Structures are given as C-alpha cells and as structure tokens.
C-alpha cells in the first residue's frame, strides 16, 4: 500500500521560490545599473565654468610662451645650421684644393720615375695611414711637406664642422618637435575653453558676464587706490625737492638727464601701445596687425629703440625690478606664478595689454590678474 502513496513535492515547491529570488536580485541589479548609467554628471555652476575657462586661458598663455620660445630657438638654430653647412661647403673646397696640390706633386714624382711609395701616398683615398711613415717624409721637399700639413689641417677642420653640423641638425629637429607640441597645446586649451562656453545657456552667459563686471569693478577700485598712493608719493617727493639744501636749485624738477631719457623712452613705448588698442590678440603674433601679450611689449619697447627678449620668461629677467607701489609708465607688469602674461603700465594703476584669444588690445587694471612682479627695461 505504501508504494501507492503520492510522492512528496517539497523540491517542486521550493524551486519557484529560488527562481523568484534570483529574478528579484537580477531585477534589482538591473535597476541599479540603469540608475547608475542614467544618472548624468551634475552640470557645473557658472562660477565653476568661469574659473575653469580662466584657468584654460592661463594654460593657453603658458603654452603660447613655450611656443614663442621654441619658435625663436628654432629660428636661431636654423640660422646656425645654415651657417655651418656653408662653412662645411667652403672647407670642402679648400680640402679639394689641397688634394689637387698633392696630386700635382704625385704626378711630378711619377714623371721623375719615383712613383712608389710617395705616389701611392698622394693618390690614396685615405692618405692618413701614410702620414706616420717617417721614411716617406724624409724624401719630400719642404713645400710638399707643407702641402700635406695643409691637407691634414683642412681634413680635420672639415670633419669637425661636419660633426658640428650634424649635432645642430639634431638639435633643430628636437626644437621643431617642441614647437609642434606647444602649438597643439595652445589649440587644445583654447578648444576646451570654447567648448565650455558654448554649453552655457543665455541666462548662464548673462550671469557669467555679471561675474566679469564685478571682477573688473574690484580691479578698477584697487587701481584707483594705487593711483592715489602714487599721486601722494609724487607730491611728497616734489615738496622734498623744493626744500633748501635739496640740490634742486630752481625747484622746477628732480629728474636728471638719465631720468629724462627714461621718461622719453616710456612716452614712446606708451604712444606705440596706445596705437595698437583695438587690434586682436593672436597667440604667437608680434604685429603689426595682431599681437600676443609679450609680442606687444617687445614691439612697444623696440619702437623706443630698446630690444627686449621675446617671451615673458626672458622679459622678466631684464632691467630693474620694481615694486608695484613704485611703478612708472612704460614698466612691464607680469602676472601669475608661471609668468605667463605681461602688460605695459600706463599709470594710475592701469595697463595696456593683449589679453587673450577673442579679445583686443585694451586698457585694463593691473589688478585684474594676480601680479607676479614688475621690471623697468631701461
């Protein structure tokens, strides 16, 4: 009778439970995955975009100076290579002249019946191996010995110049690679900045413009404070110059002939800079239609008869360092810790500079950017 009992179905009843649990877990996992994929990155605030864009422009400024430096080095290296190659060609001519002279002596010895071993020496492709044979040297006249000495000297100099030219070409190749890299870096940073700005809505662009206005207003306020401080310092200096015993005599001024010359140069620098206002910033440009920051400062001082280096990193090393409170028109003011920007001080806390891509040469407060330091080129 027991064999006719209905089999237990415990396993069957538990199987659906396991299947349901697995399905539930799979559903939770799927939902979690979908939630993770669906959740977009939070949109940056306008303030974050403004900081990022400013940083990208600063990085582009640094890359621009690297480009300028590499371009200048490449031009100098190219000139050096060309000069070396010209020198190698001239020395090759001299070497051939010396070889022809040796050939003349060899031909003479042949006609006189003394071809060996001197003729072998003279006509060999590599006569160097024979130079140490003293028995051959004894048979030569003083003129022949001089011809061989000249040949050896020209051969050594030509080899030296050829090796130097090869090294210079290698350096030029490296410099040109740096130039290409810097150029691409500038384009990449500017492209990233443009992309960020293009994603802003009209409302966000208005807020960004308001942030810029507040920044400019604060920078102008600081410039006005500096202007007051400098005016007060000048007034005190004039009063001190008028006091008896100050050496002023007539009291019409305190400047020496040197100061007068510096003032004239500064006026020429500023006259040039003002004439460039409104021209576009273009990275790597040195005028006359467009400029980058250091291209403008270099051109302005050149207009005053003073040659200064091309990059901000080299310009900051020239002349005399000047404290911000002691700035005078024509001085160069540098910005950021990496010295990637420069402007020309015009007085009253203001400067003329080529700001950044998309902007034109303009007047602006020196406090618009963090000041690194200042120099007076001459």
Active site residues: 293, 341, 353
Q: DSSP characters for 141-206?
A: -HHHHHHHHHHHHHHHHHHHHHHHHHHHHHHHHHHHHHHHHHHHHHHHHHHHHHHHHHT--HHHHH
Tokens standing for 306? 């003073």
d(CA 372, CA 113): 82
d(CA 343, CA 332): 6
d(CA 235, CA 227): 12
Specify the DSSP class assigned to residue 277.
T
Kindly report the number of other CB atoms within 10 A of residue 246's CB atom.
12
> Taking a C-beta distance cutoff of 8 angstroms, is the pair 98, 105 a contact?
no
Closest CA to 370 of 344, 349, 339: 339
């Amino acid at each position: 009778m027991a064999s006719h009992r209905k089999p237990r179905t415990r396993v069957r009843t538990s199987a659906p439970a396991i299947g349901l649990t697995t399905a539930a877990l799979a559903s939770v996992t799927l939902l979690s995955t979908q939630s993770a994929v669906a959740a977009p990155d939070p949109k940056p605030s306008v303030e974050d975009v403004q900081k990022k864009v400013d940083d990208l422009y600063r990085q582009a400024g640094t890359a621009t100076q690297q480009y300028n430096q590499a371009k200048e080095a490449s031009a100098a290296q190219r000139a050096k290579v060309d000069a070396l190659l010209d020198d190698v060609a001239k020395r090759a001519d001299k070497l051939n002249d010396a070889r022809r002279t040796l050939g003349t002596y060899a031909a003479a010895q042949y006609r006189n019946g003394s071809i060996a071993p001197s003729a072998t020496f003279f006509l060999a492709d590599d006569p160097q191996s024979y130079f140490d044979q003293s028995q051959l040297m004894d048979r030569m006249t003083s003129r022949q010995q001089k011809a061989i000495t000249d040949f050896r000297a020209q051969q050594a100099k030509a080899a030296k110049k050829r090796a130097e030219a090869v090294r210079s070409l290698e350096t030029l190749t490296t410099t040109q690679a740096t130039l290409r890299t810097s150029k691409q870096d500038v384009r990449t940073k500017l492209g990233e900045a443009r992309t960020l700005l293009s994603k802003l809505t009209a409302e966000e662009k208005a807020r960004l413009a308001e942030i810029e206005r507040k920044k400019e207003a604060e920078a102008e306020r600081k410039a006005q404070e500096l202007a007051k401080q400098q005016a007060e310092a000048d007034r005190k200096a004039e009063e001190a110059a008028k006091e008896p015993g100050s050496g002023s005599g007539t009291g019409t001024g305190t400047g020496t002939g040197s100061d007068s010359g510096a003032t004239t140069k500064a006026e020429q620098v500023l006259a040039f800079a003002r004439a460039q206002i409104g021209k576009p910033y273009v990275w790597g440009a040195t005028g006359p239609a467009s400029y980058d920051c250091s291209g403008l400062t270099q051109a302005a001082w050149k207009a005053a008869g003073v040659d200064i280096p091309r990059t901000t990193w080299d310009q900051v090393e020239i002349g005399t360092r000047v404290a911000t409170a002691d700035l005078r028109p024509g001085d160069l003011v540098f910005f950021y810790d990496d010295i990637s920007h420069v402007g020309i001080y015009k007085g009253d806390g203001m400067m003329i500079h080529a700001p950044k891509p998309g902007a034109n040469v303009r007047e602006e407060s020196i406090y618009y950017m963090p000041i690194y330091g200042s120099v007076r080129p001459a």
